Structure formats: C-alpha cells, structure tokens
Amino acid sequence: MNPSQLQLPKLCSKRRFFFTLVLLFSLYYILTTIRTITIPSSSQDPHRHHPQLQEPSMPHHSSLQEPSMPHHSSPPKPSANQPSPPSSSLPYFPLCPKNFTNYLPCHDPSTARQYNIERHYRRERHCPDSSSHEKKLRCLVPKPSGYKTPFPWPDSRSYAWFKNVPFKKLAEFKRLRTGDRFVFPGGGTSFPGGVKDYVDVIMKVLPLASGSIRTVLDVGCGVASFGAFLLNHNILTLSIAPRDVHEAQVQFALERGLPSMLGVLSTYKLPYPSKSFDMVHCSRCLVNWTAYDGLYLMEVDRVLRPGGYWVLSGPPVTSMVKAKNQKKDLQKEMEKLNDVFRKLCWEKIAERYPVVIWRKPSNHLQCIKRLKALKFPGRCSSGDDPNAAWYKEMEPCITPLLNVNDTHKRVLRNWPERLNHVPERHGVTISRFKADTNLWQRIVVYYDTKLKFLSNGKYRNVMDMNAGLGGFAAALSKYPMWVMNVVPFDLKPNTLGVVFDRGLIGTYMNWCEAFSTYPRTYDLIHANGLFSLYLDKCDIVDILLEMQMILRPGGAVIIRDGFDVLMKVKAITNQMRWNALCVKYEAEFRPNMSIVVQALQPLLRSSGTATAPHRQA
C-alpha cells in the first residue's frame, strides 16, 4: 500500500454518555497499534530510553496463515554469543553449508547447465519452483570466513576487502588485488587509458554535466568503474552483467557501493519500462549487437528515452584502429551495425576513438516511410504494452514513439528539477504525487531524527522492496546513498516508469522469487506494505529468508505493515537470529504512526552440518 493511501482512524464521539464506549474503543486501538523495533547491536542496553516512533496503522489481516517450518529435525545449538531461542520455542533456521556462501537461487550454475546455451538462455533467470518448498533454500546463508565491514563511502569506490568477495579468478584477470584488499584504480581492462580520459572523450560530445543525462544503463559493466566515475556528474548508472567466466562482477560493483544487478541480453526483455534511460553504454560488453537481425539493439531502443544516446566502445570500434589483418572483416561488421541503426532511425553524432555515439530520434515522423521501404521489422503493435517486461520475450519490432512534431512539453526536466516534477506520461495526478512526496519527506526526516542512521555514512546500498512512486528514494536523495526502487511486476497501476522519470533507478520484481543479486549486497532494506501484498501469493518465510540473504551483516530492515502481519513477521525473524526489541512509540510530527525496524546481527558463520536442497557449484 502506498503511504498516500494510509488513513488515520477518526474518533468522533462527543457525548458524555458514550464515555464508556470511547474508553473501550481507545483501549482496543492502543493494543492494535503496538509495533516492533529491532536495534542494530545486542551490546546496547535494552533498558535505555529509545526514540519514540509511530506510524499510520495499516489494515489488519487476521486470515494470515502460520509460517512454514524450516525443513530440519533439530535446531543447531546456539553458541555463547548468540541469543537464546525465542520464547515460542520455535527452532532456529539452520545455517547453510559453506558452499552456499555466494548462493544465487535464480542464477545457480549447477542448475543452469540443463538449459539451452542458444542466445545465452542459460544465463537468464531460472528460479526454483515457487510452489515447491523442497526445492527452495530453507537455511541462513552464512558470511565468508574473515568477512569485514565494507569500507565506508566514498572510500569503498576505491577499496574492498578481499575476503568479502574472495574470487581469485576475477582478481587475477583484472589485476586488482593488493594484499588483503582490492584496489580499483578507475581503469582496468575496459579502460586501459583510465576511466577519466575515457569519459573526457565522451564529454566532448555529450553534455554529461548539464543534468539532461541522469539515468544510464551500463551493459557488461566489469566492476562498474564507468558508473563510479559518472557519479562525479550526478549521473546514476545501473550496471548489469551476467554471472559468467568473470564470476562476480556485479558483486564487486555492489561491494564498492555502486548500483548493479545481474542481467543479460538474451531471450527476455530487460526488467525495466520503456523510455527509462537517458543513455545506454557498452564497453567491451561482448554482445553480438547485429545478431538475430538486431534484436538486442531493438531492446536497447525500447528502454532508451526519445533523444537518448547509445555509446559503444570496444570491438569493432577500437579494433578497426589497431587491427590490420582483420580490418576488412571489422569494416563489414561495422557496416552491419550502421545498417541496423539506420533502420532504427538512429543518427550517428560522433565517432572519436575509442567511442562511437548514436542518438535515438524524438519521434518517428521522418522514419515511417523509411521503415516501409526497408526490409526490417516494423513498429510494435499499438496494443502491446511496451512497459510490460517481466519474463516477456524480446520482440523483433521497434517500440513506437509519438507521432507529433512538437514534443517540447513532454521533455523531461534536467536533474535535479525532475526529481520532484510530476511525470506527464503515467497518469499520476498532481495531488497524489505531491502528497506522496511530502509524506515521505516527513517520514525520512523522522527516521533520521529518531534513529540516527541515515546521515552517518554507514548505509550506501538501499533497497525499497515496494517503491510505489519512488517517494522514499526521493527523500533520501540528499544522503550519500542510492536506492534500488523495486516495483512488483503485477502492481496496478504500474509506477516504475514514474520512478525512472524522476531520475531514479529500479526494476520489476516478483518477491515470490529471489532477486538478481548476490548475498550481502544491501545495507538497508525498506519494505512498505510488502507482506500484505504477498499474503495470498507465496510464503512470507521465503521473502524474509531472501531479505536475510541479500542484507549485509549488521545491516538494517525497516518494515511497515499491518499489526497482524508484523506479529507473524516478528515470529519468523526470531527464528532467523535477528535482534528484536518490542517498544511502543509516540510520534511527534504525526499522530497514530508506527514502524518496524529490524537489524541483522553479524553472527552468522559458515557451517558444514546443515542439509540443503541442492549444492551450489
């Protein structure tokens, strides 16, 4: 439920002879608005005076089923530094074996081998059956031996602890390791001359510092050095790469505190709405752009905004300069690439070593006749939703643009004005947008005032599991952090386009499945009304175990939901060794408010004794 939909209860009795009735009602209301807070460290004194906090109570759900029990016969014996078992006598979830430290449920190489290698389908998402608990992981993913708290921002852009991401193959290939840490100099194999010089070449053509380019998609991101440098120009880059021979590029990027997720151009559309990114970038990304009649470029065209830019470096661009024996073959490949762009109606605006830059048109007025004359797939059907992208196969067609000459009214504002400008293409009313924005600004100020954790630099990677209009992320924009705004794919209305139009980033998701990321990659997780949304869709145990997996040791979770739902959530988190303390709060800025904050203690260590449904290679 969106925060703008939260309604405050109304107490309207005025007569004295209703005093008894009012008293009983007040007592019931107080009992049903008690919430839970979990503090980050067990070392804190439980008898201290904690900050007073409340939030609008959500609708109750008395029909919630009891959570499924983990599949084990006897719980592991807690160590001395672990909390005692919950008073309900429910057993703890066991710890997973050591080889599950970097477990990826939907990108598991041990199961991916059964899928076809054609079009890299093997690297797509292949999740365990959501209807079968036997195939799902029901243990707690441990941290690797020697895990340390990541470097704070902005130091983490340049350094990461080796034992946090102990992938020797990538370390040797990228030549990044120095002693007990990785050092990211801002170059590597993607930018031999350094990322600064590389971006300087692009800046001679594109207005990177103007605010007109805010959201960028980096395909085949390496360790996200390109996105890291663009932050200097207030450009937010979402880097994607598959799990491949380089092992864990995405995990390296997230360990650095940079936006990244597992993704591949293969069979399905990328999980983003149409017209989402101001620029798409590829440097040595190993994508065969001319294959399948330019299908992958049609997908880039779908997610690129009208007037957006596509920047390409690496083969065949750079190879044409250096190669001599293969020059003719590379020229043919480059001509095939240019042919696809002509059919897409893109314009080449610059070719400066080591990059070539094309621009997507603002409309298709000048292209309609050309498309009819060329033997090339036409425009996609007007009945197809170009924003539907969750497990939707790519289509060999061009996403249609506006057939109008005057498009200036629909041009997005520059950053940062676009953050709080009402998007015009998603049917969002001005009143709803402003109410949502104002509410989240007050709530985030309250989070920081009372909980004291937003401005201390501890949290870099933030996930909002049910982002709505992106109000939570917009309110956090003044802090040194970024937010992955997740919108459930079947949510109506679809609001992810609004998120991108505000200059933020996000993705579609079905929380009955695992997210496309590695364990321990988010510092703070925010879930507003999420569990109420999924009550009748899947087991909330699996959602909480997924949260535990992607949360860093010592990270925090903020959950906002109905009372009955929260009590069920708390019972499960007790079994997950989360440190909880029940406190009643009184809000200062708005009456009748409540909150749930839960933090994961860094107690989980590798264990080889727990049983698991299948082994991670």
pLDDT, tens digit, 9 for 90 and up, residues 384-437:
899 999 999 999 999 988 765 544 446 789 999 999 999 877 778 999 999 999
Reply yes or no on whether the pLDDT at 131 is more than 70.
no
Exposed, middle or buried: residue 50 (CB in 10 Å: 0-12, 13-18, 19+)? middle
Report the distance separating Cα 92 and Cα 84, nearest Å: 10
Residue 484 has pLDDT above 70, yes or no: yes
Q: Which one of 173-187, 372-386, 520-534 scores highest in mean pLDDT? A: 520-534
Domain match, 470 and 361 both: no
Q: Is the pLDDT of residue 456 over 70?
A: yes
Query: By C-alpha distance, which of 113, 123, 169, 156 is closest to 287?
Result: 123
Regarding whether 369 and 424 lie in a shared domain, the answer is no
User: For residue 66, what pLDDT band results from cuts at 50, 70 and 90?
Assistant: very low
**Higher-confidence position of 615 and 527:** 527
Rounded mean pLDDT, 137-145? 91
pLDDT above 90: residue 548: yes
Structure tokens at 304: 């690129």
Average pLDDT over residues 6-27: 44
Please give the share of the chain, as a percent, with pLDDT higher than 70.
71
- The mean pLDDT value for 334-357 works out to 91
Please check whether residue 185 lies inside any domain of the structure. Answer: yes
Kindly state the tokens that stand for 216. Answer: 């960028």
Task: Quick: pLDDT tens for 259-317.
Answer: 999 999 999 999 999 999 999 999 988 899 999 999 999 999 999 999 999 999 987 77
**Token digits of residue 132:** 């079968």
| Angle 344-345-350 from CA coordinates, rounded to 5° | 105
pLDDT score of 292: 93
Distance, in Å, from the CA atom of 294 to the CA atom of 280, rounded to the nearest integer, reads 16
Please enumerate in sequence order all residues whose Cβ is within 8 A of that of 415, keeping only pairs 6 or more positions apart, or say none. Answer: 211, 212, 214, 234, 503
Taking the CA atoms of residue 224, residue 225, residue 231 and residue 236 in that order, the dihedral angle to the nearest 10 degrees is -20
| pLDDT, mean of residues 523-548 | 94
The mean pLDDT of 1-20, rounded to a whole number, is 43
- Asked if residue 597 lies in contact with residue 37, where contact means CB atoms within 8 angstroms, the answer is yes
**Distance of alpha carbon 505 from alpha carbon 496, whole angstroms:** 9
365-381: pLDDT as tens digits:
777 766 666 666 778 88
Residue 108 lies in a domain: no
Residue pointed to by tokens 């459930």 = 488
Residue 403: the pLDDT is 60
Statement to judge: residues 446 and 346 lie in one domain = no
Contact 223, 253 (CB under 8 A): yes
The per-residue pLDDT for 318 is 61
The reported pLDDT for the residue numbered 610 is 31
| Tokens representing residue 6 in the block | 């939260």
Boundary-marking domain end, from 312, 347, 374: 374
Radius of gyration of the chain (CA): 25
Domain co-membership, 357 together with 492: no
The letter for the amino acid at 436 is D
Q: Strand, helix or coil at 581?
A: strand
CATH at residue 496:
3.40.50.150
Residue 53 neighbours by CB distance under 10 Å: 23
Q: What is the pLDDT of residue 91?
A: 83
Q: Are residues 183 and 279 in the same domain?
A: yes
Q: What is the pLDDT of residues 214-226, one digit of tens each?
A: 999 999 877 899 9
Hey, what are 610's tokens?
């727990």
Q: Mind listing the pLDDT tens digit for each residue in 75-116?
A: 334 344 444 444 445 788 999 998 999 999 999 988 888 898
Q: Does residue 395 belong to any structural domain of this protein? A: no
**CA 347, 353, 354 angle in degrees (round to 5)?**
95
- Give 76's contacts (C-beta < 8 A, 6+ positions apart): 92, 94, 95, 607, 609, 610
pLDDT at 594: 43
Amino acid residing at 408: H
Listed range (38-52, 289-303, 329-343, 458-472) with the worst mean pLDDT: 38-52
Q: What is the pLDDT of residue 372?
A: 66
Asked, for residue 545, whether it belongs to a domain, the answer is: yes
DSSP 466-516: T-TTTHHHHHTTTSS-EEEEEEETT-SS--HHHHHHTT-EEEEE-TTS--S
- If one compares 583 and 329, the residue with the highest pLDDT of the two is 329
Let me know if residue 452 belongs to a domain: yes
Determine the pLDDT at residue 76.
Answer: 39
Supply the pLDDT for residue 388. 95
Within 204-277, residue ranges assigned H as helices are: 225-230, 249-255
- Distance between CA 195 and CA 157 in Å, rounded? 13
Share of the chain above pLDDT 90, in %: 47
Coil, strand, or helix at residue 133? helix
Closest by CA position to 310, among listed 448, 202, 385, 235? 202
Candidate from 24-38, 132-146, 391-405, 455-469 with smallest mean pLDDT: 24-38
Whether residues 365 and 427 fall in one domain: no
- Asked whether residue 524 falls in the same domain as residue 442, the answer is yes
- Please say if the pLDDT value at position 601 is more than 60: no
Give dist(CA 493, CA 52) in Å, integer.
Answer: 34
pLDDT for 438 beyond 60? yes
Q: Are strands 355-359 and 304-313 parallel, antiparallel or unpaired?
A: antiparallel
Lowest mean pLDDT among 199-213, 293-307, 450-464: 450-464
Give CA torsion, residues 231, 235, 241, 245, to 10 deg.
Answer: -30
What is the residue-averaged pLDDT of the chain? Answer: 78
- Output the six-digit token pair for 204: 């001679």
Tell me: do 370 and 421 sit in the same domain: no
Pair 189, 332 in one domain = yes
Do residues 513 and 391 lie in contact, with contact meaning Cβ atoms separated by under 8 Å? no
Domain presence at residue 136: no
In a domain, 114, yes or no: no
Written as one letter, the residue type at 213 is: I
pLDDT higher than threshold 80 for residue 44: no
DSSP 197-256: HHHHHHHTTS-TTSSS--EEEEES-TTSHHHHHHGGGT-EEEEEE-S-TT--HHHHHHHT
CA distance 372 to 326: 35
Number of domains in the chain: 2
Task: Tell me the average pLDDT across 328-350.
Answer: 88
Residue 209 falls inside a structural domain: yes
Residues 500 and 588 reside in one and the same domain? yes
- Position with higher pLDDT, 16 vs 294: 294
- Does residue 421 sit in the same domain as residue 341? no
Rounded to the nearest 10 degrees, how much is the dihedral formed by the CA atoms of 511, 515, 521, 524?
-20
- The reply to whether 462 and 358 lie within a common domain is no
Whether residue 535 has pLDDT greater than 50: yes
Q: Which domain holds residue 537?
A: 417-600
